Amino acid sequence: MIILGIDPGSRFTGFGVLRWSSKKIEYIDSGVLNFSSYKEFLPRLGPIHSAAKLLIEKYSPNEVSIESLIYVKNVSSLAKLAQARGAMLGAILNVYPGKIYEYSPNLIKNTVSGHGHSSKEGIVNMLENYFGKKNFNTHDESDGVAVALCHALLRDKLKILNQNLNNKRNGNSLSGALKNNKKVLQQLKEL
User: Is 156 noted as a catalytic residue in this protein?
Assistant: no
User: Is 7 noted as a catalytic residue in this protein?
Assistant: yes
Of residues 40, 57, 63, 140, which has the active-site annotation?
140
Of residues 7, 63, 141, 143, which has the active-site annotation?
7
Q: Report the Cα–Cα distance between both ends of the chain, in Å, rounded.
A: 23
User: Is 67 noted as a catalytic residue in this protein?
Assistant: yes
Angle at 100 between CA 96 and CA 105, to 5 degrees: 155
Distance, CA of 153 to CA of 58 (rounded, Å): 23
- DSSP H stretches of helix in 114-171: 120-131, 139-169
* Nearest Cα to Cα of residue 10 among 74, 87, 71: 87
Of residues 26, 40, 63, 67, which has the active-site annotation?
67
Active site residues: 7, 67, 140
